[in-house]
Structure 1
Amino acid sequence: MDNSGFVLLSHSQALRRRMDVVANNMANLSTVGFKAERPVFHEFVERADSALVDDAKETSFVLDFRAIHDMSDGAFQPTGNPLDVMIEGPGYLGVELPNGDTAYTRAGFVHVLENGDLATPGGQPLLDEAGQRINVPPEQSAQLSIAADGSVMAGEDVVGRLAVTVFDDETNLTPRGDNTYAGALGRVLGAEETKLRSGGVEGSNVQAIRETTNMIEIQRAYQTGINMTESVGEMRKRAIDRLGRVG
């Protein structure tokens, strides 16, 4: 395979990566707290020492660099549960995994477990500023509310504060596949920085029209690549045929 074939192959791989990201975004159109992904590509230029013409000494390829998240807020979706919260602005709620590690989520569904711990619907305990579970005495569970600064109120008493963690570099977050992220180097916001809206959750920020448009563009670009591959193949065929006649 010559350089043109490798270039077209790298182009096709980039388009496949873009399509995978678009498909994942569309699949999470209704996932609470989901942030749309955007693929990032880099150009890799290979330089040859010699070529038939100077312009052919450099060959440009497409490299899949990483995916970033669109951190714009999704729409507020009322749930009727006063404990459900939406984070306004950046940040994630910390949850405790079965192995004791901490994961992060934007899905603000909040429930009270039988043992009094605040948790997600999947039973993952929510964590406070110190990385500890927030436990509510049984006699106070019917009086719970969550303030804008994350304080968990049982009537007039503060029983804990939901930790909201921000990451200066979002590439430190890795999706785990259950609407949570594994992350490192996060910073817990203070009460004055935290902004929660109770009574509902954040919807996905995926825009169906935008993703559908991206899908159409990718399909057209892929078809263009196929046409170019066929043209290059036909050109090689004609060149070989002519060389055979000369021989």
Structure 2
Amino acid sequence: MDISSTVLLSHEQALRRRMDVAANNLANVSTAGFKREDPVFREYVEKTGEPQDPVRTTSLVLDQGAVHDTAQGGFQPTGNPIDVMIDGPGYLAVDAPDGTTAYTRAGYLKVGDDGSLVTAGGLPVRGEGGRPIAIPLDQLGKLSIGPDGTVSGAAGALGRIEVTVFDNEAGVDPRGDGLFTASGGRALTAAETKLRSGGIEGSNVQPIVETTNMVEILRAYQTSMKMSEAIGDMRKAAIDKLGRFG
């Protein structure tokens, strides 16, 4: 494979990666708390040539993963007084099935079978100090959550939801099912915590933007294919000429 074909292949692989990310964003337009992603690429410069010849450089594209857009989604009322949206940065800390701590922006909450506050998927939501928030059976139907994350029943406060922030959002990685993994977070104090109850945060994906991106990617891929065909035609023409001389 000659260098021109290698460069085109590198470009087409980057376009495919961009298309996969845009398609995933669009598929999650209705997912609570979903953060759209942007692919990250970097240039790899390859130097070729013999010591006695001038050094030639070729730029290729390397996939460096993706980063999520931290812009906040809109508030979507649900009518459930214990559904919450984090107003600002941060994540709800939950106990993942594998025993680790995971984080989420999806604020669908309910009371689990064991009486603890859990997510829609049944993962325990962590309160202050990493402790679960226990809800007495006689308080069901009388729950409310304050702006500082305090969960209250008819008899008073039952605990406070812990919101964790990360100084480096690039280290917050999606793991699927609306969950993220990260390390080095800091729990917000009651004065720093800002929650809105009675609804959840919607996805920050803008369908028109993602659809436009997909159209642009498709056109770029078509252009790359035409260039590849042109290079192939040039190669065939050169071979024909060499054959006639032979």
Band of TM-score, shorter chain: over 0.9
Structure-2 change in CA distance of 1:39 and 1:51 (3 Å): farther
Q: Which deviates more, 2-11 or 234-243?
A: 234-243
Kindly report structure 1 stretches of 4+ aligned residues shifted beyond 3 Å: 49-54
- 5 Å matches for 1:43-192? 43-50=43-50, 57-155=56-154, 157-192=156-191
Instruction: Name the structure 1 match of 2:42.
Output: 42
Offset, 1:121: 1.5
Displacement after TM superposition at 1:52 (Å) = 11
CA shift for structure 1 position 44: 0.7
Contact 1:86 1:202 in 2 (8 A): yes
Of residues 208-217 and 126-135 in structure 1, the stretch that sits farther from structure 2 once superposed is 126-135
- One-letter amino acid of the counterpart of residue 191, structure 2: E
Match for 1:99: what amino acid?
D
Counterpart residue identity of residue 39, structure 1: P
Offset at residue 195 of structure 1 (A): 0.8
Normalised to the residue count of structure 2, the TM-score between the two structures is 0.95
Identity of aligned residues (%): 58
Q: Which residue of 2 aligns with 1:23?
A: 23
| Counterpart-to-counterpart distance in 1, 2:195 and 2:52 | 64
Q: TM-score, normalised to structure 1's length?
A: 0.95
Aligned length: 246
How far does residue 152 in structure 1 lie from its aligned partner after superposition? 1.0
The 2-side partners of 1:4 and 1:173 are apart by 37
Aligned to 1:9: 9
CA deviations on 1:174-216 (whole Å, 9 max, x unpaired) are 2222111122222111111111111100111100000000000
Kept after mapping to 2: 8 A contact 1:51/1:57: no
- Write the distance in 1 (CA, Å) between the matches of 2:146 and 2:97: 28
The reply on whether 1:200 has 2:199 as its aligned counterpart is yes
Q: Is the contact between residue 91 and residue 165 of structure 1 (CA under 8 Å) also seen in structure 2?
A: yes
1:187 and 1:13 map into 2 onto residues whose CA distance is 38
Residue type matched to 1:25 in 2?
A: N
